[in-house]
Amino acid sequence: MEKVLRINVGAENGPVATIEELGAYAGLGGRAMTTTVVCNEVPPNCHPLGPENKLVFSPGLMAGSAAASSGRISVGCKSPLTGTIKESNSGGTGGQFMARLGYAAIIIEGERKTDDLWKIVITKDAVMFEKCNEYRMFSNYPLVAALQEKYGMEPGYVTIGTAGEMLMCNSTICFTDPEGRATRHAGRGGVGAVMGSKGIKAIVLDPAGTPVIRKPKNAEAFKAASRAFAQGLSSHPVCGTGLPTYGTNVLVNILNEAGGLPTKNFSVGRFEGADKICAETMVEIQKRRGGNPTHGCHRGCIMKCSGICVDENGEFVSKQPEYETVWSHGAHCGVDDLDKIILCDRLEDDYGLDTIETGAALGVLMEAGALKWGDIDGIIAMIHEIGKGTPMGRILGAGTATTARCFGIERAPVVKGQAMPAYDPRAVKGQGVTYATTTMGADHTAGYAVATNILGCGGKTDPLSAEGQAEISRNLQIATAAIDATGYCLFTAFALLDQPETMQALVDTINAMYDLNMSLDDVTELGKDILRKERAFNAAAGFTKAHDRLPLYFSRESVAPHNVRWDVSDEDLDSVFNF
Amino acid sequence: MEKVLRINVGAENGPVATIEELGAYAGLGGRAMTTTVVCNEVPPNCHPLGPENKLVFSPGLMAGSAAASSGRISVGCKSPLTGTIKESNSGGTGGQFMARLGYAAIIIEGERKTDDLWKIVITKDAVMFEKCNEYRMFSNYPLVAALQEKYGMEPGYVTIGTAGEMLMCNSTICFTDPEGRATRHAGRGGVGAVMGSKGIKAIVLDPAGTPVIRKPKNAEAFKAASRAFAQGLSSHPVCGTGLPTYGTNVLVNILNEAGGLPTKNFSVGRFEGADKICAETMVEIQKRRGGNPTHGCHRGCIMKCSGICVDENGEFVSKQPEYETVWSHGAHCGVDDLDKIILCDRLEDDYGLDTIETGAALGVLMEAGALKWGDIDGIIAMIHEIGKGTPMGRILGAGTATTARCFGIERAPVVKGQAMPAYDPRAVKGQGVTYATTTMGADHTAGYAVATNILGCGGKTDPLSAEGQAEISRNLQIATAAIDATGYCLFTAFALLDQPETMQALVDTINAMYDLNMSLDDVTELGKDILRKERAFNAAAGFTKAHDRLPLYFSRESVAPHNVRWDVSDEDLDSVFNF
């Protein structure tokens, strides 16, 4: 990870690669890298699909190491969905293979001169560009299959589906999983469209000939630290038991019980069909059919929350959908057909669509009366419309806020143009603070207050009370930014919040890997620094505290069963970044 | 004009009227009234289609008087198109009849409780509400015809077409002209959707039994001042000759010559088909057919720029379309078929669509490749899609920025979500300053620097030079805000800029009407006060100087024939409101 690969798509005869020293970007990884590059090199007032925007890939600092659950990758740019800075995070093979190939960052920049599509093949010895117009309007699964036919099963593939090619605000960048499936996505913020705007359809990361594991500078210390870290994860009830057994969809019953499962476009906090779409039901069905609820999205993960879903004949359909995907197509749309929700997950992975944003937009379409509540076949038809770019598909593909705008709907559950995921902010107020204030637009992972508000990790709070939520969100946002820089999966945070020794072990792994002497305070400072940079970018792009708010209707309309409104004060919201 | 009519649409059994004293709103008219009410009563962070927004109608201070060209009406609210405060201005009978009925403001507020549509009948003695679901999805022409059948030809009708009913961001409020045609519109900013969101389909303004002309307090002085004012207008080449002879479309040849006629989505500043769509051609055809190029949009107008267009059989088709309408469907889309452009004007008046925003969006659709340049029949088909609310119609009806967003297009000529009209900001830089900085989103009328940059009214400047343009725009924006408060047509400004004695006569008419002693400085201060209020509203809604900018591509791409880029500095733009 000693190099930056800079790809200029604006050269005369197609893209040109330059390999640079790290220079000012030395010591950065993941979100710290993507945010710093975007802040340094992208004018905040540019159009996200214009030539001035850049697309930055960066593995976390620990990617490719032997540390548990450390293989995440960050994708950064100015977001077409929100207009803010964006870091979108994914599992899969991308982070580890980039790290093995020695790249701390890949920066795609410039203005494409033609409509040609290109693929980039990166090996340990070379960076090659080939036109690939034969893949035009390929979706991710057939695209990956075609690439695997040519380049084999060993490389990792980074691709965009039809949505990214059509420059949709709701499009993802796909990273293949360890078995070569098109299942892992940098989902949020429309990063796929930025890749599409640069004319790049696929990146082949071929790690052949590189060491399988990056060596730490201090091997003994690393071994001890990473063992302690792994043990910490394994012994925690969420990281060691809940996630491996059920995946993230374990949250359906938990949020339903808490009255925070947004149902029918956030009109109520409980869904009568919850038991039909919950993880317990999904796992039971999958076990019977020969699916696998315990699967890692990247090699070396020990939380293994990703899972594999098969149909009645045992044929692969999709990865086990995340809780947020089950929610967005399920409770949010009044749907309780689990198999068809899994099919939606597959279709959206295939077209390259954010499953949260897509489902959220579909719920708004139902609110508008253009689709009936619970009409899962209508939903599936709509997903195909998006993937094919019909006019209705263009609306939905532009995201939830645009769908609401086109249909004259006030009740769009969005902040800064991005849809809120699966937690009603009135019933999980800490999460509401994160939605309102994060630099990313409504995003659950940016400061996952569900952990403290609902799961009781790192202390207990009343999720219905406004009190103290700003502080909870602030601390989580700082910690998250730092974790997103390391390459560790954010789900390690459940253990980190509860077990100081696991937190220390995490810091020790980084110190041993790089022969550093960072303290916990240093890690906190890293998180703060990332957030400060992101805030400055957004401010220059025109975002103010007026944008750090939930839509007004959350303050006006209470949500059953607790009949609570949004009542966190503006002063509290404005205090989140007071560091 | 001693009363405020407040209509609460949220009462149990349908709308309820309250008639109030002017109170704090005494002395205000037009834009001064709408802006003050919106600033006082509408939370800047509300959703434009939510219950907290209000729709305010206000005739100018001089409406209903015998002064020439004084009958304009202002419509104010928070705009669904831009999210800013909005004042949208119209001719027709609305301003004069509201004034005759004694209302300085009608404020429509509250949250409709059902989906019923209502009409409001206002006579000198009563305000009546009637359900009118039988008019659901009526467009303006048949709606007005049905209302005229019931209430006769004497009342003025204020209506929304299907676009407003469908809550489209691009929808207008229609005011009938003196002959009862649905031709005059508060066009910009989606005010029709706000009326639709309140469930009001039509307002009948029945002036029967009211004095035809409002009496001035000082009759002698008024007579002298208004005569001097009228003479000033008549003797000016633009107000007294150009506009009555040709209408605003006289600008096609002028802007084409100046290289500032945006062609094919602002890709070049001259249109080869200009001579086929210019006013000289239109007037010649219309004279031959029996149309009328010299017609006033309201009684007492002496500039009479509105005109009447007929088909080959002499049958009425539409009003003479404005220059901006001819541009948006003509040069902007590569269309040179004048008769079909006039048909577009008719269709958009009928559905209740802003002709600028609609044409601008269609040009962006062409840029996206979804419609061919010059395909006027395709344009007509698209207008029907908007009017009927198909998915493609929903996209276009949401405006130019949304159309660009849905199709992944950077080149959207918009500021604050509103499309630029018919003047390339690179070739008419003073106009660019107005687009960038006005409180309204890109709007030519807010500070019509074309007057000085191109027409040479009020001095001469180089339209291609950045120098001095901020000052020009500032002064025009201040003067315009004041004029918009008086009810005088903005086109009086050509004479006002050139003839100090006409400016003084205008002030004298107001003084005589109300027995005041205002100076020119007082009028300037009124304009500044309006702008300050609007700026404060926008700032609270989240607008910053980052929003007072043109899209970046205007700085990157030069426009032929002068090959000029946008080069007004940020410092200059930020100086516009330094008062």
Distance from CA of A396 to the nearest CA of B (A): 9
Q: Could you report the per-residue pLDDT of A486-542, keeping only the tens digit for each? A: 999 999 999 999 999 999 999 999 999 999 999 999 999 999 999 999 999 999 999
What is the predicted pLDDT for the residue at B459?
83
Specify which residues B157 forms β-bridges with. Answer: B204
CA angle centred on B42, ends B40 and B44, rounded to 5°: 105
Distance from CA of A1 to the nearest CA of B (A): 34
* Order of strands, sheet of B156-159, starting from the edge strand that comes earlier in the sequence: B127-131, B118-122, B200-205, B156-159, B173-175, B184-186
- Give CA A33 to chain center in angstroms: 16
- The torsion defined by the Cα of A481, A484, A486 and A492, in degrees rounded to 10, comes to 100
Query: Alpha-carbon distance B269 to A482, whole Å?
Result: 50
Question: Residue B470 to residues A100, A470, A485, B467, B558: CA-CA distances in angstroms?
Answer: 55, 42, 45, 8, 21
Rg, chain A, Cα only: 22
Quick one: CA dihedral B276, B277, B283, B285, positive or negative? positive
Contact B269, B562 (CB under 8 A): yes
Give A569's contacts in chain B (Cβ within 8 Å).
none
DSSP-assigned letter for residue B531: H
Specify which residues A118 forms β-bridges with. Answer: A131, A200
Q: Which residue of B has its CA nearest to A164?
A: B408
B426 at A interface, C-beta within 8 A: no
Phi, psi of B87 (to 5 degrees): -125, 120
Tell me which CATH code domain A3-205 carries. 3.60.9.10
Query: Alpha-carbon distance B161 to B307, whole Å?
Result: 22
Give A544's contacts in chain B (Cβ within 8 Å).
542, 544
Q: Which residue of B has its CA nearest to A385?
A: B391
What is the predicted pLDDT for the residue at B338?
97
- Give CA A119 to chain center in angstroms: 23
DSSP-assigned letter for residue B216: P
Question: Region A70-94: what's the mean pLDDT?
Answer: 98
Cis peptide before B463 (omega within 30 of 0): no
Quick one: CA dihedral A174, A54, A576, A358, positive or negative? negative
Q: Indicate yes or no: pTM above 0.95.
A: yes
Position A460 confidence tier, pLDDT thresholds 50, 70, 90: confident
What is the predicted pLDDT for the residue at A1?
81
Burial class (CB in 10 A: 0-12, 13-18, 19+), A290: exposed
Contact B233, B303 (CB under 8 A): yes
- The torsion defined by the Cα of A353, A182, A274 and A333, in degrees rounded to 10, comes to 20
Helix (H), strand (E) at residue A100: helix A94-100
Give B43's contacts in chain A (Cβ within 8 Å).
552
What is the predicted pLDDT for the residue at B515?
96
What is the predicted pLDDT for the residue at A65?
96
Query: Alpha-carbon distance B435 to B414, whole Å?
Result: 8
Length of chain B: 579
Surface of B (472-491) touching A: CB under 8 A: none
Binning chain B into helix, strand and coil, the percentages to the nearest 5 are 45, 15, 40
Q: Could you report the per-residue pLDDT of A177-231, keeping only the tens digit for each? A: 999 999 999 999 999 999 999 999 999 999 999 999 999 999 999 999 999 999 9
- Give CA B517 to chain center in angstroms: 30
CB contact under 8 A, B408 and A45: no
Mean pLDDT value across chain A: 97
Query: Alpha-carbon distance B144 to B418, whole Å?
Result: 28
B547 at A interface, C-beta within 8 A: yes
Query: Alpha-carbon distance A399 to A82, whole Å?
Result: 10
Question: Residue A109 to residues A34, A126, A163, A254: CA-CA distances in angstroms?
Answer: 13, 19, 20, 44
A6: tokens are 């800079």
- The torsion defined by the Cα of B32, B33, B36 and B39, in degrees rounded to 10, comes to -110
Query: Alpha-carbon distance A258 to A279, whole Å?
Result: 16
Q: What percent of chain A has pLDDT over 70?
A: 100
CB contact under 8 A, A167 and B407: yes
What is the predicted pLDDT for the residue at A458?
85
Question: Region A99-119: what's the mean pLDDT?
Answer: 97
What is the predicted pLDDT for the residue at B27?
96
Query: Alpha-carbon distance A569 to A573, whole Å?
Result: 6
Which of B78, B394, B437 to probe by mutation at the A interface, max A CB count within 10 Å?
B394
Q: Which residue of A has its CA nearest to B365?
A: A391
Architecture of domain B250-424: Orthogonal Bundle (1.10)
A490: tokens are 């954010």
Q: Which residue of B has its CA nearest to A540?
A: B546
Nearest to A392 among B167, B391, B543 (CB): B391
Inter-chain CB pairs, A–B, below 8 Å: 99
CB contact under 8 A, B47 and A544: no
What is the predicted pLDDT for the residue at B1?
81
B105: tokens are 């403001």
Provide the H-helix boundaries in A352-397: 355-367, 376-388, 391-397
A390 at B interface, C-beta within 8 A: yes
B218 at A interface, C-beta within 8 A: no
- Per-residue confidence of chain B (579 residues) as pLDDT tens digits? 899 999 999 998 899 999 999 999 999 999 999 999 999 999 999 999 999 999 999 999 999 999 999 999 999 999 999 999 999 999 999 999 999 999 999 999 999 999 999 999 999 999 999 999 999 999 999 999 999 999 999 999 999 999 999 999 999 999 999 999 999 999 999 999 999 999 999 999 999 999 999 999 999 999 999 999 999 999 999 999 999 999 999 999 999 999 999 999 999 999 999 999 999 999 999 999 999 989 999 999 999 999 999 999 999 999 999 999 999 999 999 999 999 999 999 999 999 999 999 999 999 999 999 999 999 999 999 999 999 999 999 999 999 999 999 999 999 999 999 999 999 999 999 999 999 999 999 999 999 999 999 999 988 899 999 999 999 999 999 999 999 999 999 999 999 999 999 999 999 999 999 999 999 999 999 999 999 999 999 999 999 999 999 999 999 999 999 999 999 999 999 999 999
Give B541's contacts in chain A (Cβ within 8 Å).
546
Phi-psi region of A284 (alpha: psi -120 to 50; beta: other; left: phi over 0): alpha
A43 at B interface, C-beta within 8 A: yes
Which of B53, B78, B365, B406 to probe by mutation at the A interface, max A CB count within 10 Å?
B406
Looking only at the bridges linking them, the beta strands covering A55-59 and B55-59 are unpaired
What is the predicted pLDDT for the residue at B93?
97
CB contact under 8 A, B549 and A45: yes
* Residue A445 reports pLDDT greater than 90: yes
Q: Which amino acid is at B26?
A: A
B367: tokens are 């840029």
Distant-in-sequence, close-in-space partners of A231: CB < 8 Å, separation ≥ 6: none
Q: How many CA atoms lie within 13 A of A192 on its CB side?
A: 36
Give A362's contacts in chain B (Cβ within 8 Å).
none
What is the predicted pLDDT for the residue at A285?
94
A70: tokens are 């450390």
Secondary structure (DSSP) of B391-438: HHHHHHHT-HHHHHHHHT-S---EETTEE--SS-TTTSHHHHHHHHH-
Question: Region A48-68: what's the mean pLDDT?
Answer: 97
CB contact under 8 A, A47 and B193: no
What is the predicted pLDDT for the residue at A459?
83
Q: Which amino acid is at A114?
A: T
Position A340 confidence tier, pLDDT thresholds 50, 70, 90: very high
Contact B341, B278 (CB under 8 A): no
Give A167's contacts in chain B (Cβ within 8 Å).
407-408
Distant-in-sequence, close-in-space partners of A439: CB < 8 Å, separation ≥ 6: A84, A85, A446, A531, A534, A535, A537, A538
Q: Which of A114-123, A465-474, B290-299 has the lowest mean pLDDT?
A: B290-299
Q: Could you tell me where in chain A the CATH 1.10.569.10 domains are found?
A: 250-424
Query: Alpha-carbon distance B118 to B199, whole Å?
Result: 6
Q: What percent of chain A has pLDDT over 90?
A: 99
Give B392's contacts in chain A (Cβ within 8 Å).
391
Q: Could you tell me where in chain B the CATH 3.60.9.10 domains are found?
A: 3-205
Q: Which amino acid is at B564?
A: V
Specify which residues A105 forms β-bridges with. Answer: A4
Distant-in-sequence, close-in-space partners of B328: CB < 8 Å, separation ≥ 6: B355, B356, B358, B359, B360, B362, B363, B419, B421, B422
Distance from CA of B306 to the nearest CA of A (A): 32
